[in-house]
């Protein structure tokens, strides 16, 4: 989970992160996404099917996380105080990493885990 958080933040800081349905679908459809992260707590079945189908069609790795609030926090959508505590959680059902930014151990660990499994606990 920490490797996923680190990789998403690096991608966000390097303007390589697509957040939300519209941006994620655009990145997946164009084939610019390198990794997609989908929340299991998304209650819209059509949403999940669309993201899953696009990932399979384009051979893009898909990782599932348990909660959309966690994914929203990783993607920079949560409001925080100056001391770092989260004031308000904003959920995000999917993100796509278009560019990784810099080479990091988190990226290597994430890619190794994505090849073996699709779910984070």
What domain range is 49 assigned to? 2-116
- What letter would DSSP give residue 100? -
Residue 11 lies in a domain: yes
**58 close to 34: Cβ distance less than 8 angstroms:** no
17-30: pLDDT as tens digits: 999 889 999 999 99
Residue 121 lies in a domain: no
Q: How many domains does the chain have?
A: 1
Residue 12 lies in a domain: yes
Confidence (pLDDT) at 38: 92
- The closest alpha carbon to 14, from 76, 60, 71, 58, belongs to 76
We report the CATH number of the domain holding residue 75 as 3.30.1330.30
Residue 25 lies in a domain: yes
Confidence (pLDDT) at 117: 65
Beta strands 61-65; 35-39: pairing state: parallel
Residue 85 lies in a domain: yes
Beta strands 86-88; 94-97: pairing state: unpaired
Q: Residue 120 above 60 pLDDT? A: no
């Amino acid at each position: 989970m920490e490797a996923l958080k680190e990789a998403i933040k690096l991608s966000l800081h390097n303007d390589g992160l697509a957040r939300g349905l519209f941006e994620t679908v655009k990145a997946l459809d164009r084939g610019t996404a390198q990794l997609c992260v989908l929340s299991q707590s998304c209650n819209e079945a059509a949403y999940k099917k669309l993201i899953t189908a696009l990932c399979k069609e384009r051979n893009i790795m898909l990782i599932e996380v348990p909660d959309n609030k966690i994914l929203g926090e990783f993607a920079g959508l949560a409001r925080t105080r100056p001391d770092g505590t989260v004031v308000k959680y904003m959920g995000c059902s999917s993100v796509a990493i278009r560019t990784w930014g810099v080479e990091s151990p988190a990226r290597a660990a994430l890619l190794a885990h994505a090849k073996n499994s699709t779910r984070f606990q």
